[in-house]
């Protein structure tokens, strides 16, 4: 399983990565700190999941990217905002599989990851 976590704050990437490895110890987790790196990396690896920060550098192209990425992989929107944020809602409307708050507790992160992979 290949997963990309994109967030400009490393501690968030490391936290989510640790939860992923609790669920799937053999998962290969890639990291990106900006949208340009995501766009570059997405063609190098066949990802099973993209976890994308709503406010990382370069995220002005996030809507266009998500609308295409959801055709090929699962996408979780990751944000310090709540799920009622207009941009988060738009990204879900574009096909993102789930929303995950940066303030979520471990149980919520894990349940969101499991939920996304339980969908067809």
CATH of the domain at 95: 3.40.50.2300
| pLDDT at position 85 | 85
Structural domains counted in the chain: 1
Does residue 84 surpass a pLDDT of 90?
Answer: no
The overall average pLDDT reported for the chain is: 92
| pLDDT at position 40 | 87
| pLDDT at position 120 | 56
Task: For 10-61, write each residue's pLDDT tens digit.
Answer: 999 999 999 999 999 999 999 999 999 999 888 889 999 999 999 898 888 8
Does residue 113 surpass a pLDDT of 60?
Answer: yes
Across 37-46, 95-104, 105-114, least confident range: 37-46
**Domain hosting residue 19, numbered range:** 2-118
Q: pTM for this structure? A: 0.93
Taking alpha carbons only, the member of 76, 110, 109 closest to residue 95 is 76
Taking alpha carbons only, the member of 92, 112, 116 closest to residue 101 is 112
User: Between these two residues, 75 and 86, which has the higher pLDDT value?
Assistant: 75
């Amino acid at each position: 399983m290949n997963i990309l976590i994109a967030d400009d704050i490393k501690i968030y990437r490391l936290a989510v990565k640790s939860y992923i490895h609790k669920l799937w110890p053999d998962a290969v987790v890639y990291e990106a700190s900006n949208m340009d790196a995501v766009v570059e990396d997405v063609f190098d690896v066949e990802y099973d999941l993209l976890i994308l920060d709503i406010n990382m550098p370069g995220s002005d192209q996030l809507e266009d990217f998500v609308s295409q990425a959801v055709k090929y992989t699962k996408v979780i929107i990751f944000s310090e905002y709540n799920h009622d944020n207009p941009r988060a809602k738009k990204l879900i409307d574009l096909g993102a599989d789930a929303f995950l708050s940066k303030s979520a507790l471990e149980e919520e992160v894990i349940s969101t990851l499991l939920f996304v992979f339980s969908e067809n």
